[in-house]
Each structure stands twice: as C-alpha cells, then as structure tokens.
Amino acid sequence: MVSQDSFPELGGFVSLGSGALVTTSGLLHALCPPGPHQALCRQQVSQHGSNGIRVSFVPGPQGEAAVRHYLDAFPSIATVPVTPTSLVNFGQAVNFPLIFGAMLAVFGAATLTHLLVVSVARRRREVGLLKVLGFVNGQVVASVAWQATTLALIGVVIGLPLGIVLGKATWNLFANNLGVVPSAVVPVWFVGALAVAVVVAANLLALAPAAAAIRVRPARLLRTT
C-alpha cells in the first residue's frame, strides 16, 4: 500500500515534503534483498542505520503518561513531533484568502452599483416613455431589479466554476510546494449560499438606482422644442 503522508518535524531530518514511512520489514526487504549477504546487511542496518521509529499513543491521560515515560527513559533519542515552521507561517497567513475575497466583493459591489446608476441615468428618456405607456413605480423598480439580477447571475454562472477550478489548481500547486497532501474541498452548501447571497446583494444595491428611476418626470424628459 502506497500513500502520501504529511510529516511533522522529527529529528531535524524529517519534515513536510521530506521523509518516508515504511514498515521495518519493508525497509529491510528494500535495503537487503534475498541473497548470501542478506543477514550481514540486516545486521549492519540495525547497527548503523539512522532511521527512526514512529509510534502513536492513545489519547487521554494514559497516552500522555506513556509519552512522558519514554521521553524520560530515552532522553537522547525520543522526541515529540514539532509543527513545521512553514506550516506555522501558513497558519498566520490563513486569513489572506478571506481578506482578498472580501476586497473583491467590495470592488464587485461598487462596480455593479456604478453600472446600475449609469444605466438608469443614460436611459432616463426610455424610463419616461415607459411611464407614459403605463408603467407604475413597482414596474420601474422591477425592471432595475431584473437588470441587477441578470448581471449577478452572469457573474455567478461564470465566476463560481472558474473560481473553483482556479482555486483548486492554486491550492494544489501551493500544497505540493509546501510538502503537504493536496486535498481541496469545495462545500456545496457554501457555494449555493454564496450564489443566493450574490443575487440578494445585487437586488439590495439596485434599490438606490431604482429610487432614482422612480423620480423620473416623463413630461420634462419627453418635452420637445
């Protein structure tokens, strides 16, 4: 059985992206293949090998007592795992994706608001004409809301799949360079909630441009000289 494993700092020569974990029999089989010198090879490996043995203990007071016992009995060779420095640095910077995403959300909201405001300002004559044809205030608000919803849905349909693909690729590249097992998880419920939140936020941002469209006076806009 072959798998990937993320190692802690052990003995100064094993860490993230460095080291391998095999059974004792597997190690001896790899270093000392069957032959006339197999017994001598195994003896030399056991005497001069610089390999370590990884052990685990049951959680709780019993396991903690066993760890203390072996640390006291073998102070020169028994060590406890140490969190790698690279992982500590990553933990300190783990909020960066959230901060970056929040900044993009603010810029996206500002862009959508600007687009709606400009759209209403440029189409004041069309809004006035619609009012003359019988549009009431609720229908004017609905037209602006549908424009915001359409823009939000276009962003969701394009942005979410693209973001998932790029996010997975970026994380896999980062994890491989860091030496940890690349395992990107995409929570479906969060993606769905994010899509709904984008549409709701777009409609909330459309309230101010919709209020401006309501105040349009058809007579003044459609007056000709």
Mean pLDDT for the stretch of residues 64-90: 72
pTM of the model: 0.57
Give tens-digit pLDDT for 30-42. Answer: 777 777 777 777 7
Is the predicted pLDDT of residue 225 greater than 60, yes or no? Answer: no
Ranked by mean pLDDT, the top range of 15-29, 123-137, 199-213 is 199-213
What is the predicted pLDDT for the residue at 9?
63
Q: Are 6 and 180 in contact (CB under 8 A)?
A: yes
Task: Summarize the confidence of residues 104-132 as an average pLDDT.
Answer: 83
**Distance between CA atoms of 31 and 42, rounded to whole angstroms?**
8
Amino acid present at 8: P
CA distance 155 to 141: 21
* pLDDT at res. 12: 60
| pLDDT surpassing 80 at residue 208 | yes
pLDDT at 50: 56
Rounded CA separation 59/218 (Å): 76
- Listed in sequence order, the DSSP H helices in the chain are 24-31, 38-48, 61-73, 85-92, 96-122, 124-132, 137-178, 188-205, 207-214, 218-222
Band of the pLDDT at 101, cuts 50, 70, 90? confident
- What lies within 8 Å, CB to CB, of 160 at 6+ separation is 191, 194, 195
Which pLDDT value is given to residue 220? 64
Domain segments of the chain as ranges: 1-83, 95-222
Q: Is a pLDDT exceeding 60 seen at residue 93?
A: no
Residue type (1 letter), 214? I
Choose the weakest-confidence range: 2-16, 144-158, 198-212: 2-16
Is pLDDT at 97 greater than 50 in this prediction?
A: yes
Instruction: Decide which of 148 and 225 is more confident.
Output: 148
